[in-house]
Copies of this chain bind each other. A is one copy, B any other.
Amino acid sequence: MSESERKVDQLRLLHETGPQTLMGKLLRKFWHPIALSEDVAAGKARPVRILSEDLTLYRGASGKPYLVGGRCAHRCTLLHTGWVQEEQIRCMYHGWRYDGAGLCTEIPAENRPRLTPIRIAAYPVHEYCGLVFAYLGGEPVPAFDLPRKHVLEQEGHTIIANKQIWDCNWFQQVENSLDAVHVSFAHVWGRVGRFGSSVTANIPELAYAETSAGVRQIATRSKDNVRVSDWTFPNNNHVVAPGPEKEDPWADISSWPVPIDDTHTLRLTLYAVKTTDPDKIASLKVKYDLGYSPMAHADELFQGIVEGVHEPGLISAQDYVAVRGQGAIYDRSQENLSTSDAGLAFLRRIFLRELDAIRNDRPTKQWSRLKEEPHLAPPPAAAVQAAE
């Protein structure tokens, strides 16, 4: 294998998410958000596909969520179509019942005890800020700490959660997070919103550093316009951005592109805004374009039309055109990187290092939540001014 073949081969590792792939194994060492809390009511179930695995998310009568295998072990019917009974779920086909740990607890028509218990997959879940997180890896289950943020837990703040599905690979979305230059172009595309106005004065100087939690990126546009952002391994981006309109507060935005499978991504985003006023919150929920789907508007967007959205929908649409425009799976063998792709290269080196550890059965890095919080500088004065 030539050097360039080796490189292409290595780049291919970056987008695979199935349970048997190196990246699939690496991602299974982390908690990932898998649904909005409001997506599943007490006593109800729904199917979720995460990391190329089909699963059933249900909430017991108590309100506690559970994540188990997608199909009944008996004749493989989709389990989410069954009945949630107390804290268990019963298959609609022949009534096999499972508890939240995946153990089959009843086989109605079975008249002989089984020698070995029947089990389906089951994974720990944890609710945080209106999202259901899950851990799909093996023992030991890490504490739910890395995804937490001080800014998401502040008094006097409200969290608004949003969900989108994109029809492309997750990793090109992660790369987009570490790519400060795109902001100056992609985010003035179609329509220049308040975010676009705040960042496009000039192209930033970029610097990157690995932290205990992931990567710190510093984009310097001028002495008064420095954007610092701490990105958390393996897929959490965190930025501050102006609100949809001038009178709206800036928001802390924390976003996770989570692989559904190799060509679909679940994007769960939290907006932390400093208000507890119910009217303000209701108005913000409208302006935050909850429910807007760039994928559903792909035909228009790829013709350059962005309509019917406020600021967050606009930003999503712009990133979608850039990133989905790379293809359902971006073919990195065709790219020509530039000095401005330093963040990307930095990020890939870290990922490839970790994948190499997985391949060779060596321990991966023990990522831990950043000590110093808030890890984002307050909005730079020049940016605030430009946006207002």
Which A residues are closer than 8 A to B by beta carbons? 47, 71, 73-78, 80-81, 90-95, 107-112, 118, 179, 181-182, 184-186, 189, 203, 302, 304, 321-323, 325-327, 330-331, 334-341
Residues A325 and B185 in contact, CB atoms below 8 Å apart: no
B322 to A181, Cβ gap below 8 A?
no
Cα of A337 to Cα of B72 in the assembled complex, Å: 11
**Complex alpha-carbon distance, A369 and B282, angstroms:** 69
A78 to B107, CA, bound (A): 51
B326 near A81: Cβ-Cβ < 8 Å: no
A340 neighbours in B (Cβ, 8 Å): 94, 107-111
Docked complex Cα distance between A108 and B304 (Å): 22
Let me know if B189 and A331 touch, CB within 8 A.
Answer: no
A203 to B340, CA, bound (A): 68
Which residue, A184, A185, A323, has most C-beta atoms of chain B within 10 A? A185
Jot down 27 A-B pairs with beta carbons below 8 A, ordered by A.
A71-B326, A74-B335, A74-B337, A75-B337, A76-B335, A77-B322, A77-B323, A77-B325, A80-B302, A81-B325, A90-B185, A92-B185, A92-B189, A92-B321, A92-B322, A93-B185, A93-B186, A95-B185, A107-B338, A108-B181, A108-B185, A109-B340, A110-B338, A110-B340, A111-B340, A112-B339, A118-B336
B108 lies within 8 A of A75 (CB)? no
Q: Given A76-B327, A81-B304, verify A93-B336 contact (CB < 8 Å).
A: no
**Measured between alpha carbons, how far is A184 from B96 in the docked complex, in Å?**
12
- Copy number in the complex reads 3
User: A325 to B327, alpha carbons, bound, how many Å?
Assistant: 31
Within the complex, which residue of B91, B321, B326 is in contact with A185, where a contact is CB–CB below 8 Å? B91
**Docked CA distance A186–B72 (Å):** 14
Q: Which B residues are CB-close (under 8 A) to A302?
A: 47, 78, 80-81
A9 CA to B186 CA, complexed, in Å: 48
Verify A71–B186 contact, CB threshold 8 A.
Answer: no
Bound CA–CA A181/B109 (angstroms): 7
Tell whether, in the assembled complex, residue B92 and residue A334 are in contact, meaning their CB atoms are under 8 Å apart: no
With A91-B185, A109-B203: A336-B77 Cβ-Cβ less than 8 Å = no
Pairwise interchain contact A184-B75, C-beta atoms closer than 8 A: no
Whether A182 lies near B93 (C-beta < 8 A) is yes
Q: How far is the CB of A211 from chain B (nearest CB, A)?
A: 24
Q: Establish whether residues B71 and A334, one from each chain, have CB atoms under 8 Å apart when the complex forms.
A: yes
State whether A339 and B110 are in contact (beta carbons under 8 Å apart), knowing that A77-B325, A181-B94, A325-B78 are contacts in the complex: yes
Q: Which residues of B contact A76 (CB under 8 A)?
A: 326-327, 330-331, 334-335
Nearest Cβ on chain B to A238's Cβ, whole angstroms = 22
The 10 tightest CB contacts between A and B, nearest first, are A109-B340, A77-B325, A78-B325, A95-B185, A93-B322, A109-B181, A92-B189, A109-B203, A110-B338, A73-B336
With a cutoff of 8 Å between Cβ atoms, the chain B residues found around residue A304 in the complex are 81
- Tell me how far the C-beta of A30 lies from the nearest C-beta in chain B, rounded to whole angstroms: 26
In the complex, chain B residues whose CB is within 8 Å of the CB of A94: 179, 181-182, 185-186, 338, 340
Name A172's closest neighbour in chain B (CB-CB). B75
Residues of B within 8 A of A339 (CB): 109-112
Could you say which residues of chain B place their CB within 8 Å of the CB of A189? 81, 92
Q: How far is the CA of A181 from the CA of B111 in the complex (A)?
A: 13
Distance from A146 Cβ to chain B, minimum over Cβ atoms (Å) = 28
Which residues on the B side are within 8 Å of A341 (C-beta)? 75
Q: How far is the CA of A334 from the CA of B73 in the complex (A)?
A: 7
Question: From A111, which residue of chain B is reached at the shortest CB distance?
Answer: B339
Closest B residue by C-beta to A322: B93
CB of A210, distance to nearest CB on chain B (Å): 22
